Amino acid sequence: MMDTRVITAHLPAELAEKLDGLSERLDRPRGWIVKEALASYISLEEKRHRLTLEALEDVDAGRTVEHAQVEAWAQGLSGGTKRRTHR
């Protein structure tokens, strides 16, 4: 069995009401929804942190692109033509 800990958090009333509604709609306990939401959020933040560290390593190693090059690339995406307006 997995060790668990009880964590208490104060939620704004509106968010707690939304959690209650979601719990009813999914027929799942509130604790299950909170656990799933936190796991997803923490996973996303860990990925964001890892990607940030990788990007900083690229900067430190000089693997960068000049701003003017990025602008030229972005302008090239439109194929050099003006955008059409829809009527």
DSSP string, 28-86: --HHHHHHHHHHHHHHHHHHHHHHHHHHHHHHHTT----HHHHHHHHHHHTTT-PPPPP
Our count of domains for the chain comes to 1
Mean pLDDT for the stretch of residues 25-37: 98
Range of 27's domain?
Answer: 21-77
Alpha-carbon distances, residue 62 vs 31, 44, 48 (angstroms): 46, 27, 21
CB 23 within 8 A of CB 30: yes
Q: What is the mean pLDDT of residues 73-86?
A: 74
Is residue 85 over pLDDT 80? no
41 found inside a domain: yes
Whether the predicted pLDDT of 87 surpasses 70: no
Report whether 23 contacts 33 (CB < 8 A).
yes
Mean pLDDT value across residues 51-75: 96
Task: Tell me whether residue 33 is in a domain.
Answer: yes
- Residue 83 forms part of a structural domain: no
Mean pLDDT of the chain: 93
Q: What is the pTM of this model?
A: 0.71
Please tell me the predicted confidence (pLDDT) of residue 51: 98
